[in-house]
């Protein structure tokens, strides 16, 4: 008999969220297989996990079939930043669709639970605020972001079709704007952009007039929510919104980053990219009710930890890009692990 309670596969495990999730699952005593093709994942993210009991790294692309004995699958495999997925939109769509299909077949063969990390992008540029899980979205199916948005929507379709046809135990989480230590400096999204620009003294680039809003969830809060969702009874399938319901204008985020870093850089304004959402905010009533979860880490606290890590990485030739998270108060998991 294995010494580990569960055998868990984390696809995209060398990415930002995936690496933090791998670390958490290992700390809970599970055997964790981190699968990544390193298209956007980083070796440094999982370097601290190498040699840990129960940790296995598997270099593999989810668009290719795989055969493993696992109890649970967390699917985070897909470039999530426009700067990354726009480099190869066809491969991005294939990763979401074919990759998810391969993982569903693996789950069916092995009897594993599958948790799909979907995205708030399935709502597109929403006309309803905040967004609830029963909102069908306002999406451009042929625009430059469609490879990601529509790929994730199709993945959700496949997941619920497998649920209906094979009674497969599945969960779908829709993630809203996650940030924290270990995010790539070249991620291309607003937190990374502002952080790196402020730390290097460059002007902060604001797209549009900065009045568009986002909701930012710290990575330890998100990992806790994912673990809680996986532990729910089979009848709980989702989709469930996971994110921070506190809304912030992009221009206010820029000013906050300037204040926290002490930078005196100016703001420069550029045209808003095509299909960039004007407003994005989750309704997390379902997460509160079903998971007993809501974000615990305040934005300034999380930003300070994130900025400190970006600053340390800029000085280190070989950074640990997925550090042990700073001691930040967070609600403990029922299973006995406090995320800090």
Burial 239-272, CB ≥16 within 10 A → b, else e: bbbbbbbebbbbbebbeebbebbebebeeeeeee
Question: Would you say 92 and 244 are in contact if contact means Cβ atoms under 8 Å apart?
Answer: no
Assign 23 a pLDDT band (cuts: 50, 70, 90).
very high
Please write the tens of the pLDDT for every residue from 202-223: 999 999 999 999 999 999 999 9
Helices (H), strands (E): how many in the chain?
10, 13
Assign 333 a pLDDT band (cuts: 50, 70, 90).
very low
Indicate the angle between helix axes 250-261 and 299-315, nearest 10 degrees.
60
Q: Is pLDDT at 43 greater than 60 in this prediction?
A: yes
Please write the tens of the pLDDT for every residue from 83-136: 777 788 899 999 999 999 999 999 999 999 999 999 999 999 999 999 999 999
Mean residue pLDDT across the chain: 90
pLDDT of residue 335: 36
Active site residue 148: yes
pLDDT of residue 275: 67
Q: Which one-letter DSSP state was computed for residue 282?
A: B
Right CATH for 7-315 from 3.30.360.10, 3.40.50.720, 3.30.70.270, 3.30.1280.10? 3.40.50.720
Cα(265)–Cα(284) distance, integer angstroms: 35
Nearest to 195 by CA among 17, 186, 84, 281: 186
Q: Is pLDDT at 73 greater than 70 in this prediction?
A: yes
- Can you say whether the dihedral through the CA atoms of 253, 187, 81, 183 is positive or negative? negative
Q: Is pLDDT at 321 greater than 70 in this prediction?
A: no
Q: Residue 259: how many CA atoms within 13 Å on its side-chain side?
A: 8
Question: Would you say 230 and 294 are in contact if contact means Cβ atoms under 8 Å apart?
Answer: no
Annotated domain spans of the chain = 7-315
List Cα–Cα distances, 251 to 168, 209, 214, in angstroms.
44, 8, 10
Q: Which of 123, 148, 179, 218 is catalytic?
A: 148
Q: What phi and psi values does residue 223 have, to the nearest 5 degrees?
A: -60, -40
Q: Is pLDDT at 179 greater than 90 in this prediction?
A: yes
Please write the tens of the pLDDT for every residue from 309-320: 999 887 654 444
List Cα–Cα distances, 322 to 42, 47, 51, 116, in angstroms.
9, 8, 16, 22
At 66, list the tokens. Answer: 């795989």
Assign 178 a pLDDT band (cuts: 50, 70, 90).
very high
Please write the tens of the pLDDT for every residue from 248-276: 999 999 999 999 999 999 999 999 887 67
């Amino acid at each position: 008999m294995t010494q580990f309670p569960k055998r868990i596969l984390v696809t995209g495990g060398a990415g930002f969220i995936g690496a933090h999730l791998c670390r958490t699952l290992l700390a809970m005593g599970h055997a964790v297989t981190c699968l990544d093709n390193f298209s956007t994942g980083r070796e440094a993210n999982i370097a601290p996990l190498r040699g840990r009991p129960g940790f296995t790294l598997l270099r593999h692309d989810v668009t290719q079939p795989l055969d493993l004995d696992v109890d649970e699958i967390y699917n985070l495999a897909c470039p999530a930043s426009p700067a990354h997925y726009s480099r190869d939109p066809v491969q991005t769509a294939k990763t979401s669709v074919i990759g998810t299909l391969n993982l569903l077949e693996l789950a069916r063969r092995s009897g594993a639970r599958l948790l799909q990390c979907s995205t708030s992008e399935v709502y597109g540029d929403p006309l309803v605020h905040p967004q609830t899980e029963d909102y069908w979205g306002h999406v451009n199916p042929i625009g430059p972001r469609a490879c990601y948005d529509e790929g994730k929507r199709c993945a959700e379709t496949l997941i619920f079709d497998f649920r209906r046809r094979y009674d497969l135990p599945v969960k779908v989480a829709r993630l809203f704007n996650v940030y924290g230590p270990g995010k790539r400096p070249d991620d291309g999204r607003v937190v990374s952009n502002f952080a790196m620009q402020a730390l290097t003294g460059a002007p902060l680039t604001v797209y549009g007039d900065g009045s568009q809003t986002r909701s930012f969830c710290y990575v330890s809060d998100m990992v806790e929510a994912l673990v809680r969702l996986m532990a729910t009874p089979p009848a709980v399938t989702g989709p469930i919104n996971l994110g921070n319901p506190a809304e912030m204008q992009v221009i206010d985020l820029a000013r906050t980053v300037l204040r926290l870093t002490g930078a005196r850089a100016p703001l420069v304004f550029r045209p808003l990219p095509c299909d960039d959402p004007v407003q994005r905010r989750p309704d997390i009533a379902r997460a509160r009710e079903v998971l007993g979860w809501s974000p615990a880490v305040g934005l300034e606290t999380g930003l300070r930890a994130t900025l400190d890590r970006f600053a340390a990485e800029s000085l280190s030739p070989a950074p640990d890009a997925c550090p042990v998270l700073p001691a930040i108060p967070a609600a403990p998991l029922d299973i006995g692990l406090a995320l800090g």
